[in-house]
């Protein structure tokens, strides 16, 4: 999903993440997660978690949304909204934090909005959730 040129508000992004959560496939955990992201050029992408009977194959909502963005050529994440059923709203797992970091230029400027079904909300930057994250710049030839 992509809608460049139209600024997306936080409320719109949260609504899209809730909608995506409805399409989660999580029969093993019954823990449904939805994610919506805006990239630097204003494009919007969504994802939900997709589980598998072989548990190690489960994929998080955030990484599905990011993969959708990257596969459409959008590599610069700006804002990530995540909807869970947890109270307080849950923060992304470590794998997803690192994946967000891969597609973020300035971790202190990337916004992560956490929301639950009661509309409780917590806002963080990626730098707050992943301080001192490992980055490609650390790899020296």
Q: What residues act catalytically?
A: 62
Distance of closest approach, residue 131 Cβ to ligand THU, in angstroms? 18
Q: Using CA atoms, how far apart are residues 126 and 123, in angstroms rounded to an integer? A: 10
Give the total of residues touching ligand THU (CB under 6 A): 13
Among the listed residues 49, 99, 101, 116, the single contact to ligand THU using CB under 6 A: 49
Is 79:13 a contact under the CB 8 Å cutoff?
yes
Q: Which of 101, 83, 92, 97 is nearest to 137 (CA)?
A: 101
- Binding segment for ligand THU (CB under 6 A), chosen from 4-12, 88-96, 100-108, 122-130, is 88-96
Residues in the site for ligand THU, rule: CB under 6 A?
A: 26, 29, 31, 33, 49, 51, 58, 60-62, 92-93, 96
């Amino acid at each position: 999903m992509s809608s460049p040129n139209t600024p997306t508000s936080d409320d719109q992004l949260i609504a899209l993440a809730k909608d995506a959560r409805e399409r989660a496939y999580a029969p093993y955990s019954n823990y449904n997660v939805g994610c919506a992201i805006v990239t630097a050029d204003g494009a919007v992408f969504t994802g939900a978690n997709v589980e598998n009977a072989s548990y190690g194959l489960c994929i998080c909502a955030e990484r599905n949304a990011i993969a959708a963005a990257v596969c459409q050529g959008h590599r610069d994440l700006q804002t990530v909204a995540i909807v869970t059923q947890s109270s307080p709203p849950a923060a992304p797992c470590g794998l997803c934090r690192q994946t967000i970091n891969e597609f973020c230029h300035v971790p202190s400027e990337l916004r992560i909005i956490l929301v639950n079904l009661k509309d409780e909300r917590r806002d963080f930057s990626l730098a707050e959730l992943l301080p001192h994250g490992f980055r490609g710049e650390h790899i020296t030839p």
